[in-house]
Amino acid sequence: MSEWWTYRLSSFLLFSPRTYHRLFELYNRAIFPAQALALGLGLWILLSWRRGSEVPRRAILASLAACWLFVAVAFLALRYTSINFAAVYFAWAFGLEAALLVGVSRRGLVFERPAGAAARAGTAMFAFALLIEPLAGPLLGRGWRSIELFGVAPDPTAVATLGLLLAVRGPGRSILMIIPVLWCLTTGAFLAAMESPEAWVAPAAAALAVGLAVRQAWTRRRM
């Protein structure tokens, strides 16, 4: 029996990188053309959010909740569980986040105009998750078939949600950030075990979001 200190993170990985990326290829083929709808929804959220006081708050949060629920069922529960037994717990967490987004949207959350540092960073983070983060796979030579898009794949959906929440003020925001942050750390660990170059992206986004949220709360307390 090997000594415990000889184990690496990859020793606990239940699947190969090739299997993981192949899963996304099959998934994208099965859900087409949902990707186009998700991209359009993401652009609508971004443009509506920038209108400040005119933002249809509940519609945006309900749309985001629909994305989390779709990922929970279509990807995590129905597909990711085939290669990772822990995916069933991830699916429940994503479903819970969808429920929280719907529930908290009724508690007076307000979208701020992207003028403050946190709100500007949130806008950039959402745009990054929507338009830039999905390019990581193709740029790393994995091809377009395994692309991971906002609204249908977990990583960009979680990062985009954290960006959006940085521009939200009101009760319940901290609760809404917990599951996206935990997912970013979890997926970062899995990608690091697969030695994927983009393993740092989601954890870095989570760290930035938490840091800015804490700073924002501290500033408001002092005012």
Q: How far is Cα 143 from Cα 136, in angstroms, rounded to an integer? A: 10
- Taking CA atoms, 172 is separated from 99, 106, 155, in Å, by 13, 10, 22
Give the dihedral sign, CA 79/83/86/90.
Answer: negative
126 domain residue, yes or no: yes
Residue 2 belongs to a domain: no
Q: Domain span at residue 106?
A: 21-222
Task: With CA atoms as reference, report the closest residue to 131 among 103, 106, 156, 96.
Answer: 156
How far apart are the C-alpha atoms of 133 and 151, rounded to whole Å?
13
Per DSSP, the three-state class of 51 is: coil
Domain assignment present for 136: yes
Q: What gap in Å lies between CA 201 and CA 182, rounded to an integer?
A: 14
Sign of CA dihedral 59, 63, 64, 69: positive
- Give residues with Cβ within 8 angstroms of 222, minimum separation 6: none
155, part of any domain: yes
Model pLDDT, residue 4: 37
Which tokens hold the place of 44?
Answer: 């609508």
Share in percent of the chain as helix, strand, coil (round to 5) = 75, 0, 25
- Nearest-CA neighbor of 150 among 160, 162, 137, 142? 160
The verdict on residue 4 lying in a domain is: no
First to last CA, the chain: 59
pLDDT score recorded for residue 26:
95
Helices (H) and strands (E) counted in the chain, each on its own, are 9, 2
Q: How many domains does the chain have?
A: 1
Whether residue 8 is contained in a domain is answered as no
- Round to whole Å and give the CA distance between 55 and 191: 36
Q: Is residue 7 part of a domain?
A: no
Cα 133 from Cα 222, distance rounded (Å): 35
For each of the chain's 223 residues, which pLDDT tens digit applies? 444 344 344 444 667 888 999 999 999 999 999 999 999 999 998 888 776 544 577 888 889 999 999 999 999 999 999 998 889 999 999 999 999 998 876 666 666 665 677 778 888 999 999 999 999 988 888 889 999 999 999 999 999 999 999 888 777 888 999 999 999 999 999 999 888 999 999 999 999 999 988 887 777 666 5
**Is 158 inside a domain boundary?**
yes
